[in-house]
A = this chain, B = another copy of it.
């Protein structure tokens, strides 16, 4: 019955984990049946052709997709990834198969209404296949043809009140952890900041003006649930400056075994009775905790806010109240020069909605201006800062130099002094020198 035989893929229908093959087959069937009598705007059998081309790859071990041409919607430089099959005769349903990146709401909370609207749109005008979600955070609509692009964009903006996401040398779709929506560790409102900056920088998001891609991610605490420190050119991680709040009664309840440590995260194995010294005091990376006479004491000046004690005893310990975020710069995957984590640019900045996050925007724009001026084509900011030095970035961002920006001072004495820093400047005459020193 199926259009293509897929013996290899069929083997992926067994096993407990949800099978994307079974799912695609169900979509193929649904489109074949077409119970709603839709006038599919792209080939109805594209899910079957997708399985077909995938089966071919499974058997010959090579991809069958070609580079995308430049496709997109008018006035935007991103949001669509063009894609063509290299065996269009065999798989006409996916001969053209572009993806559309749809901006997801911060924190990825949804109403079924919104999702159903997306489904209706995509069933009619696309393959009916999606990624929920792409690795950057977008809703990724997988496979449509060029003539549908403007239609989809029109419906998205007019009917779903939603825009495309980023691609190309743009700001990419920012993403946030769920933060204050449902997490007691949130030091700032990661979703609101994400939303605000996304709106503020719509132009940068849609119209390529950068040397290369640029990503924002927002983690409301150092746990890093949206992986900002590893995956965004500017990472905003929540933190605090004052003291961890301690509830000694709850500490006692943990010690007494009334509350499971780490919210029960280790319940699947018998790890023995909770041992506050072994599991909390000894594991504090800065040895800032002591436990004596049934009291837990934290030397907050020495605490590096790693979250371990709080994660382990969430009912007894709470983050501080003087909260804000750290900004790190330059994270990226290894292409070209090796992987980078974000490097701490701003140890602490207030996240202040009242002035529309002006202080944060100043940093962002300082960084961008510099990168647009200095960055080479296809050079991520992480590479630019490696090439031109951290201090140059800090200066551009208007951020003061701070020992916290480094893990340790330089190992080499190769300091690039400037003429104006050196008494007497650099102008000297060889004749004067030779008066003191014969050849």
Contacts and interface: CB of A to CB of B under 8 A. Distances in A.
A37 interface: no
A86 B411 CA distance: 34
A436 B334 contact: no
Interface in A26-55: none
B413 A86 contact: no
Contacts of A412: 334, 338-339
Contacts of A414: 334, 338
A105 interface: no
A88 interface: yes
A159 interface: no
Interface residues of A, number: 18
A287 to B, nearest CB: 11
A437 B64 contact: yes
A258 interface: no
A407 interface: no
A131 interface: no
A433 to B, nearest CB: 9
A88 B439 CA distance: 11
Main secondary structure of the interface of A (DSSP, over half): loop
Contact of A436 (B60, B339, B437, B438): B60
A62 interface: yes
B86 A438 contact: yes
A88 B334 CA distance: 58
A411 B338 contact: yes
A432 to B, nearest CB: 12
A87 interface: yes
Contacts of A437: 62, 64, 66, 86-87
A413 B413 CA distance: 31
Contacts of A86: 436-439
A88 B438 CA distance: 9
A436 B436 CA distance: 77
A331 to B, nearest CB: 14
A415 to B, nearest CB: 12
Contacts of A339: 411-412
Interface string A400-439: 0000000000011110000000000000000000001111
Given A339-B412, A412-B339, A438 B87 contact: yes
Nearest to A334: B412
A135 B60 CA distance: 64
A341 to B, nearest CB: 11
B88 A436 contact: no
Nearest to A88: B438
Interface in A87-114: 87-88
Interface string A334-377: 10001100000000000000000000000000000000000000
Contacts of A66: 437-439
A330 to B, nearest CB: 15
A52 B410 CA distance: 38
Interface in A272-302: none
Interface in A66-93: 66, 86-88
A394 B339 CA distance: 26
Interface in A182-210: none
Given A86-B438, A87-B437, 13 more contacts: A60-B436, A62-B436, A66-B437, A66-B439, A86-B439, A87-B438, A88-B438, A334-B411, A334-B412, A334-B413, A334-B414, A338-B411, A339-B411
13 contacts: A62-B436, A64-B437, A66-B438, A66-B439, A86-B437, A87-B437, A334-B411, A334-B413, A334-B414, A338-B411, A338-B412, A338-B414, A339-B412
Closest 7 CB pairs of A and B: A86-B437, A338-B412, A86-B438, A334-B412, A339-B411, A60-B436, A338-B411
